Structure 1
Amino acid sequence: MYIRVKHSKTTYFIQCDPTETILDIKQKLYALVDQPVNDQRLILMPAGEVLDDSKTLADQKVENDAVVALTLRKDDNEFEDVNIVRPNDFSPMQ
């Protein structure tokens, strides 16, 4: 399976298995975004649920082709707000 991890205007397609934990996914993202796993937060969209590092994708009902928002820790130790550009934000093509 794969999930779409969105951060700002970037989408990462992560190949994963339902038995992998959120921490496993964050470790895969570390190679892409160069942010330590402790500075990443994954949020299942559109529900807005923060995903628990110790639980598996299946435990948290993350399914194939799910959209997950990535937020990163800022200098003030707070996480940034979810800021993803949704396809419906664009006008339809003629």
Structure 2
Amino acid sequence: MSQQPKSSDDENQTEMYIRVKRNKTTYFLQCLPSEKVLQIKEKLQVLIDEPVNNQRLILIQTGEVLDDSKSLADQKVENDAAVALTLRKADNEFEDVNVVKPDDYIRDGDGGSNW
């Protein structure tokens, strides 16, 4: 398989994916480090039918709200990063982050056999 020559713009353009989590749902989005957060929200809009201005993305590792005008690389979002999605509520405020962790599924006394 031959590789295409890379221009300087393509430097650092290895495809990556991020995990966008909300409640019990995880969306796996393929993206490039150079993509702006707004472009990620546009991909999500197709999946969840929520306008981009009603979405907020938060890097779970740091709790930092991602800026629409900056790229993933600018905000240190790396391959396989987990990002929380919150949506705007009727009162114009954003909902709290609600991401279910795998530990939340383990019930006392069953030894975690539900995995």
Report the TM-score range of the alignment, normalised by the length of the smaller protein.
Answer: over 0.9
What does residue 69 of structure 1 align with? Answer: 84
Cα RMSD for the two superposed structures: 1.1
Paired positions, count: 94
Structure with the greater relative contact order (CA < 8 A, sep ≥ 6): 1 or 2? 1
Tell me the residue number matched to 2:94: 79
Map of 1:17 onto structure 2: 32
1:57 matched to 2:69? The reply is no
Identity %: 70
Are 1:29 and 2:44 counterparts? yes
Distance (Å, rounded) in 2 between the aligned partners of 1:84 and 1:5: 10
Q: Alpha-carbon deviations, 1:33-89, whole Å to 9, x = none? A: 100000000000121100000000000000000000000000000000000101122
Secondary structure of 2:75's match? coil
Runs of 5+ unmatched residues, structure 1: none
CA–CA distance in structure 2, aligned partners of residues 6 and 25 of structure 1: 13
Scaled by the length of structure 2, what TM-score is found? 0.78
Using structure 1 for the length normalisation, give the TM-score: 0.95
1:3 aligns with 2:18: yes
Q: Distance in 1 between matches of 2:61 and 2:94?
A: 18
Structure 2: runs of 5 or more not aligned: 1-15, 107-111
Runs (4 or more) in structure 1 with deviation over 6 Å come to none
